[in-house]
Amino acid sequence: MKLALYQGPSPAGDLEAAFARIEMLLSSAARAGAGMLLLPELFLPGYNQPTLLPNWLQPLDGPCMARMVGLARAAGCGVRFGWAERHGGALYNAASAIVPDGALLAHYRKIQLFGAMEHAASQPGTTAPPVFDLHGRRIGLLICYDIEFPQHAAGLARRGADLLLVPTANPAGFAHVPQALVPAHAHESRMIVAYANRCGAEGGLSYGGGSVIAGPDGLPLAMAGRSETLIICDLPAFGDWPGSALSARDRSVIRSAERR
């Protein structure tokens, strides 16, 4: 399976510009043979945009999702994107996975909210992160700060996930997350972890870039710098890493991590 990962600036509430960028990225990813495009956290309408959210919020069956379904189907490439979801009277920091035929395969609401803005603007999710099958992979979903809690990745590994997709909006000054924590959790849980960050600035918040796809050996398969980047990565078969199968010791480590 080939995975496309986009690191770029926030559309900052310009939805037409955002959808035009997504259409271009999906087309580029499909031409490169990718089966899924991973976009950053809250790509729609933007991460640091709390004043825009009340006027933008849409439900899961709203026009935003319908438009994303159409773009994925037209390109023949799946997309995993972060967005602000309205459900009843609540706002959630959500992410959805759409497959190339346009079907909604998975939906997830961020559990571990980070910082004053997120806690003031949204509610934490209450449902376990999903796992779904695509192109011979078992794929799990988390969002940003979730990956810094090892029990979440460990739990997905125990449910059979061998690829974890993580959209993020990691600020500058937290380079240890993509450089150390993400590879460590990939190795602990014996999975590939793809971590898609933003770059540039938005509303006074600067992003750190550094998006990474880490293998189950903890080493990077691909890594971005601080600028706009589209990574196309051919993900090796899970068994291609020595010791990739979970041993009894591995399972014990995962159980221990889940109890933390």
Return the CATH number at 160: 3.60.110.10
Selecting among 77, 144, 199, 233, the annotated active-site residue is: 144
Q: Write down the pLDDT at residue 257.
A: 45
Is 2 part of the annotated catalytic residue set?
no
Count how many domains the chain has: 1
Is 228 part of the annotated catalytic residue set?
no
pTM, whole model, 2 decimals?
0.91
Query: Which 8-state DSSP code applies to residue 34?
Result: -
Find the domain containing 118 and state its range: 2-258
Confirm if 233 and 212 have CB atoms less than 8 A apart. Answer: no
Q: What are phi and psi of 221, to 5 degrees?
A: -85, -30
Q: What is the mean pLDDT of residues 124-128?
A: 95
As given in the structure block, the two tokens for residue 220 are: 């990077």
| Three-class SS state of 131 | strand
pLDDT classification of 258: cutoffs 50, 70, 90: very low
Range in 17-21, 64-68, 255-259 the model is least confident about: 255-259
pLDDT classification of 50: cutoffs 50, 70, 90: confident
Confirm if 83 and 153 have CB atoms less than 8 A apart. Answer: no
Is 23 part of the annotated catalytic residue set?
no
Between strands 229-234 and 2-7, the pairing is: antiparallel
pLDDT classification of 203: cutoffs 50, 70, 90: confident
Selecting among 77, 110, 118, 199, the annotated active-site residue is: 110
